[in-house]
Structure 1
Amino acid sequence: MPADEPPINLTHHFLIAMPGLQDEAFSKSVVYLCEHSARGALGLVINKPSDIDLRKLFDKVELPLGRDDLARTPVFQGGPVQTERGFVLHEAVFAGDGAAPADPVYASTMTIPGGLEMTTSKDVLEAISTGAGPRKVLISLGYSAWGEGQLESELAENSWLTVGADLAVIFDTPVEQRYAKALMLLGLEAWMLSPEAGHA
């Protein structure tokens, strides 16, 4: 990359796995990037459900689940890093009057440009357990991470397609349709992708 070219920032973008990406954690995955900087990238896979749902997760952390709408929602396999730890991707929560908060409502929260937050502290689960908390949530165990320059290398190798994130794909699209819906943001369908695709 020429020195005068600014680094790409794919925060609040989807990474869509190309067919040639055979890694078990990432094959046919859609990753929502929560953070991308010169130091690396962090994201959550949004289309690989685990075998537990939120009701079981809340039982495990000994909280009631006060939201029947979420009971059967799957917990996702967010990536291969820290797979015992929970990550809650949710719409930004505003304190009190609806004004933008100076600080996130929950203890350990990363604010993501684009109207989302990612929280790792139990207080967000406690809020959900009472029937409060963010209305739209995606909960994963584990996350995906790339070191400095690693994601850029994978992009150069055509491992991923990238597109600006659409919250409807994360929160309103059935899991099995998320890969296809993410591709549609680029005007593509899965059959158009060749595993041997290269730069034209």
Structure 2
Amino acid sequence: VVEMEAGFILYSSDFEAGKSLKVTPDIYLSREAKLLEKISKGEGPKDYMFLLGYAGWGPGQLETELMDNSWLTVPGDMHVLFNTPDELKWKQAARRYGINISIFSSIVGNA
């Protein structure tokens, strides 16, 4: 399932926004319009980012992909998310966890 128009706010835990998903102890995710309103008035969380778009998986699909090592996962990191330029986030996250991304191929296919 892909929803290009779905909007989200990823934000720091220094603010209580009602209906939110706790991603890590320091990071929350919300679709609350009231949070957007608070941010626009300068009354929201210290750190936040607006996200647009959503991709979902069928039942068990993500779990299978994780077990097959199709995804490279690292813990959520406040510094990388909120203080690193967008074009450097992927490299910075990998570097912080000792992952050498230069060993990965940018070419995909079937053998």
Query: TM above 0.5, one fold?
Result: yes
Q: Deviations over 1:47-77 (max 9, x none)?
A: xxxxxxxxxxxxxxxxxxxxxxxxxxxxxxx
Map 1:25-104; keep pairs closer than 5 Å: 81-94=2-15
Task: Please report the TM-score for the alignment, with normalisation by the length of structure 1.
Answer: 0.47
The higher radius of gyration belongs to: 1
Paired residue secondary structure (1:164): coil
Query: For residue 65 of structure 2, what is the amino acid of its counterpart?
Result: E
Counterpart among 40, 52, 55 of residue 141 in structure 1? 52
Q: Percent identity?
A: 36
Paired residue secondary structure (1:118): strand
Paired residue secondary structure (2:66): helix
Query: For residue 136 of structure 1, what is the amino acid of its counterpart?
Result: D
Consecutive unaligned residues in structure 1, runs of 5 or more: 1-79, 95-104
1:87/1:143 contact within 8 Å kept: no
Task: Please report the TM-score for the alignment, with normalisation by the length of structure 2.
Answer: 0.79
Number of positions where the alignment pairs a residue of Structure 1 with one of Structure 2: 107
Once the 2 structures are TM-superposed, how far is the Cα of residue 193 of structure 1 from its aligned partner? 1.7
Q: Which has the higher strand share?
A: 1
How many angstroms apart in 1 are the aligned matches of 2:106 and 2:51?
28
For the aligned residue pairs, the C-alpha RMSD in angstroms reads 2.2
In the alignment, is residue 118 of structure 1 matched against residue 29 of structure 2?
yes
How many angstroms apart in 1 are the aligned matches of 2:74 and 2:32?
29
How many angstroms apart in 2 are the aligned matches of 1:194 and 1:82?
29
